[in-house]
Structures are given as C-alpha cells and as structure tokens.
Amino acid sequence: MLNVKWRPVAIIATLVLLIHFIVRSPYIEFQFSQTDDAKDALQAERENVIANDQAPANMKHPLPVTVTVTQDVGTPHTVTSIVKETVFVDSDSANEVLEKANAAFVVLTRNNDLKDLRETLVQLEDRFNRRYKYPYVFLNNEPFSDTFKEKIQGMVSGECQFGLIPEEHWSYPEYIDQTRAAEARKDMQDRKIIYGGSESYRHMCRYESGFFFRHPLMDQYKWYWRVEPGVKFACEIDYDPFLFMEHNNKKYGFTVSIKEYIETIPTLWNTTMDFMDKHKEMIPAANLMGFVTDKKGDYNRCHFWSNFEIGSLDFLRSDQYMAYFDHLDRAGGFFYERWGDAPVHSLGVSMFLNKNEVHWFEDIGYFHGPLWNCPKGDANKKCWCPEDQSVEIKYKTWSCTLDFVALENP
C-alpha cells in the first residue's frame, strides 16, 4: 500500500499526465481548432461550392458530414472517376439534408427473413441511410407479423411502410396451363437446374419483373433501390446515388453483371426478338443491345444482377417496358421455363435505353452470395471488401461488367 506521505505526489503526477494527454490528443486538438472563424470559412466554402455546382476532388471533411466529389474530366465510365452532382449535408447538422430525391428502398421479403434482413439493414443504414433517412417499402405475399414490423422499425432511420402483395400479382394468370407448369418444374428439378422445382421462385421472378412497381405503396415514388435480405454493403457511401441518377439523366444502375444459365431461359431471347419484330417503332436507334449480343448478333446471356438495382420507376411504368412485360407474360416462360427478373429487366433496359442512361456503381461495395462488387484503387480505402474478389476480376469469363464498360457511348 502506498505510503500516505507519497499520495499527494502520486495525485499530482497523475494530473500532469492527464493534462498532457488532453493537450496532445488529435481529437481534442481538432475540436479546439474549429474556431468560429474556421467554421464560418468552411461554411462559406461549401455555399460557394453549391452556388457554382462544383467541388474540389480532394476536399477534406470531418465525418459524418458529406461533400460532393466532382471532376469535370470528360465522359466517365464509372462513378469512381467522376460524380457530377450528388448532395450536400448542412455543415451544422449531419442529419439535415439539403436535397433529396423522391425515392425509396424496396424490399421483397418474408417474416422468416428477419435475421438476415436486419443484418443487411444495419450495414445499409451505417454506410449510407443514417444521413439521408430515405423511406423503406417492405412487400410480402403474406401479412407481416407485428414482431417483424417492430424489429425493423426500431433499427432504421427512414419511414417504414409494409405492404401486402395483391393475390392477382402472385398467382397464375388464367392463360397459364398449371398442369404444364407443374410438369416443367418436375423436369427442371430432375435435371438439377437451380430453383428448377420451385413454384414460389417463379412467382417471385414474375412479380419483380412486372408488378412490384405497381404496388400502391410505390405510386408516390420516382426512384427505387432494391435491397434483399442477407446482402452486404462494404463501403462508406458518402454521396446520394439517387440524386446522382436524377441529376445525370441515368435510368438504371447496377453493381454486378454476369451471364445467365441458358437452361432457365431457353426461349426468352426468341420471345424477345418476336416482340422487337412486332414493335419496331418502340426500339430507339441508340440502344444498348450490344450488351446482350455478341459480334454475330446472337444472345450472349449477359444481364445485370437485379438483386441490386437503383432505377427509375418511370422507366418501368413506361408504355414500352409494360408492353414488353405483357408480351413475355402471355408467352408463359415465367412458369413453363424459369425466366428470371434479372434477364428480363436487362433485356428491357438494353432495348429501350442507351449506355449513357445506365450506370455501373463500381464504388459501392456489394455482396450477394457468392459474388462481390468491390471498388479498386483509392476507392477501396473506404471499404472492407477485398478488391481481388470483385466478380469482374475473379470470374472474368462469367462477368459481363467490363464488356459493358467497353461499349461506346451513343
């Protein structure tokens, strides 16, 4: 035990060390250095940036305040190299966003997805939405439980809406032969085709292809970001992708693109060509068909992986896309084969949009088992994903992303 006469000395020594630590602490030093003059200067600089619609590429900022990264260096092929317009957060409050898009996250999920969905939403909120507070629309073909709604509402920053899918959107149309559909499922299951025997998977693909954007809860929005339970977000997203899309005339954004299993879509391409032949007036001369065809003009099976999408709801609601979906739906391939929403969306995008209207979000670190989209180079510094695992690097022959990048702009 310390001798009583030494206790004052020990106390004084402790106080000296504590004062030294406080003075030398970089955090305290940073806080003390933010004088009123410095804050005013920073605010003036940001107001000037907003007024001139431009920000220096190397602008430093204390998290979690967001600033725009803008470089006018010609036509970009990825957001890593240029972001023309995004959004600022007011310097006095990281919770007050100056501008937001009319947008929402849309999540097709079920009550038993709660654990995986909560893990995903923790990452999405932390990486992005804690600053922007965009709303969520959760859709289910069965009623959500009170437990599900309580646990989801308690962990996200944006408003939550929970919708029941209308039965007519998750059932067989009258023109589908259900006996033939059951025989097709049995055949594909016997051939061990992925999800070949699943009836619910087919309803899901049809719903995502032609109905989610028609749910009444989606009517008020112009933009959507599709989220699935269990996916991971590995990077800080320090700008607003919705506003990037809106301000840069983009209609569809993706992270991963790969080739589809031909066994699931044997007649999809011929059905699509039949639509194009009947509706030539709907296909613009500047399109993206080079993404889904090889040099001979044959279907190459490339598609944007639709478990991640940021897109325009006006595009999906358009007469052209709806006519295409109706044509496919009447053909019956969602049930007689196993047409996925990813190739359907991708063929619609390729017919009706051009490359300048489609964007690869290279800088959004995203994982949907078993594939990564992971930023490279300096962009990876704000991520925890391994860049050599990104699909266009690890699975070069399966990925279509670099083929998209190589396409010429119209």
Helix (H) or strand (E) holding 258: strand 257-259
Single-letter amino acid code for the residue at 195:
Y
Let me know: does 305 contact 257? Beta carbons within 8 Å: yes
Instruction: Give the torsion through C-alpha atoms of 260, 195, 349, 76, to 10 deg.
Output: -60
DSSP 225: E
In Å, how far from its chain's centre is CA 203?
22
Calpha distance 55→239 (Å, rounded): 13
Residue 255 neighbours by CB under 8 Å, 6+ apart: 305, 308, 360, 361, 362, 364, 366, 373
Q: How many CB atoms are closer than 10 A to CB 10?
A: 11
Residue 190: which region, alpha, beta or left (left: phi > 0; alpha: psi -120 to 50)? alpha
DSSP 248: T
Q: Catalytic: which of 260, 309, 362, 392?
A: 309
For the chain, how long is the longest CA-to-CA vector? 100
309 is catalytic: yes
| CA distances from residue 404 to 51, 299, 321, 356 in whole angstroms, order as listed | 35, 15, 21, 11
* CA 169-171-174 angle, 5° bins: 100
Q: Name the residues annotated as catalytic.
A: 309
